[in-house]
Amino acid sequence: MMGVTWRSQAAVALLLASLICSGAFAEVSLPVLDESAWTLRPDWIGDPRERSADASYTVRDGIAHLHVPEPGRSISAQARPAEPVDLAALPYVKVRYRAVGVSPAAERGYFLYLNDTDGGSISIRLSELLLNGKWHTQIIEPHASIVADEVALHLGAGPEGGELQIASIEFLPAYPTLSVAESLSLPVEPPAEAEGFRVLTLGDLATAAADEVRERVGLIDWFAAEEFAYGGVPFRTGSGGDAAAIPKMDAGRLTVPCDAAATELHFIVATRLPAWQPRPFTHWGVRKRAFSQVERFRVWLDYADGTTDEAFPWCPDTDRFELCRGLKSYCVPAAGKPLSATRASTCAR
């Protein structure tokens, strides 16, 4: 846990880091930033009435834009990688992307299609991505053994048109570690006066150093400054260390004193989820992106009048009630009356 901020009758923000226990092949990157590598294929859309006639694939400021301006229309874009992609040797797909205006019906279709000369193919569905218009870095495991020499992207636009913005698509031999910038949807900004917020200092509760957090959670780096802002909310690292560990429920609770009236509690959690969980009706497991079971992570809000609220966090980056693998920002509501303390514990494995 790193710092806490207060806004009178408004918000409290704190940074928590949960330390949950739990090659010879080089990576291959698709040429997403090479416009000339991609060919638009409206003829790949089965229903002619759904084909986009005005779609485009452009690159601006280091970002690829697959754009469909017509409502309800679709487009595919085809390319051949510089070298075949052996998914048996490179089983992890790392995508940095932003999806804007994607049709809910299109979620049943593919985002990325890979085909090999022997007739094998695999697709990553749009439903595996977060389609809330914010930047995300996602690690996907296709569980396939094809050697793909042809790839395609697909976009189905919503009622106001749609766009896929892609910074990179990489195929990797091992599960990657991410930077802070890759983990979050918004940039980390210099600290600034945020009206109505108050930072609650963690003090001696912050006993975990940044190196320990990075190693256990799988991060390349850490926050560059002790004070920073994220999403307009100010945070501060603790004086004894960089973060405070959130204990398992059978081992107690992390308790942070608080003497402010608040309507929101903001925090950042670095979470290590299990590397492998069974997948029903298959011989393989899955590496879950997040969990939403409310009993696995709990925040208690203790008020000065002796009452207590219990909450499960909302993740503004994903717009969902969930706790995500890696580093994310979270928020829980408060009743707007004076707090005496906040507590947190987890049973995540």
Check: CB of residue 39 under 8 Å from CB of residue 27: no
Q: pLDDT tens digits for 72-120?
A: 999 999 999 999 999 999 999 999 999 999 988 877 789 999 999 788 8
pTM of the model: 0.86
Q: pLDDT tens digits for 324-345?
A: 999 999 999 999 999 999 988 8
Burial class (CB in 10 A: 0-12, 13-18, 19+), 82: exposed
Averaged pLDDT, 225-229 = 89
List of residues 6+ apart from 71 with CB closer than 8 A: 157, 158, 159, 160, 161
Q: Are residues 271 and 128 part of one domain?
A: no
How far is it, in rounded angstroms, from Cα 236 to Cα 201?
7
Burial class (CB in 10 A: 0-12, 13-18, 19+), 86: middle
Domain total of the chain: 2
Q: Are residues 166 and 62 part of one domain?
A: yes
Check: CB of residue 238 under 8 Å from CB of residue 202: yes
Q: Are residues 38 and 124 part of one domain?
A: yes
Q: Are residues 269 and 162 part of one domain?
A: no
Q: Are residues 78 and 42 part of one domain?
A: yes
Q: Are residues 271 and 155 part of one domain?
A: no
Q: Are residues 152 and 285 part of one domain?
A: no
Give the pLDDT score at 200. Answer: 81
In CATH, what number is assigned to the domain containing residue 83?
A: 2.60.120
Question: Of 172, 192, 223, which closes a domain?
Answer: 172
- Is residue 163's pLDDT more than 70? yes
Question: In 3D, which of 104, 105, 27, 112 has the Cα closest to residue 66?
Answer: 112
Question: In 3D, which of 168, 156, 163 has the Cα closest to residue 66?
Answer: 163
Residue 159 CB: number of other CB atoms within 10 A? Answer: 9
Question: Of 172, 205, 226, which closes a domain?
Answer: 172
Tokens representing 122 are 């695999």
Domain limits at 209? 4-22+178-346
Q: Are residues 61 and 9 part of one domain?
A: no
Q: Which of 67-71, 290-294, 329-333, 337-341 has the lowest mean pLDDT?
A: 290-294
Give the pLDDT score at 185. Answer: 96
Check: CB of residue 85 under 8 Å from CB of residue 148: yes
Averaged pLDDT, 134-155 = 94
Tell me the pLDDT band of 287, cut-offs 50, 70 and 90: confident
Q: Are residues 316 and 201 part of one domain?
A: yes
Q: Are residues 138 and 51 part of one domain?
A: yes
Query: Residue 348: CA atoms inside 13 Å, Cβ hemisphere, count?
Result: 29
Q: Are residues 8 and 141 part of one domain?
A: no
Say which residue, 69 or 242, is predicted with more confidence. 69
Q: How far is CA 50 from CA 43, 45, 58, in A?
A: 10, 7, 21
Number of residues that make up the chain: 349
Q: Are residues 315 and 185 part of one domain?
A: yes
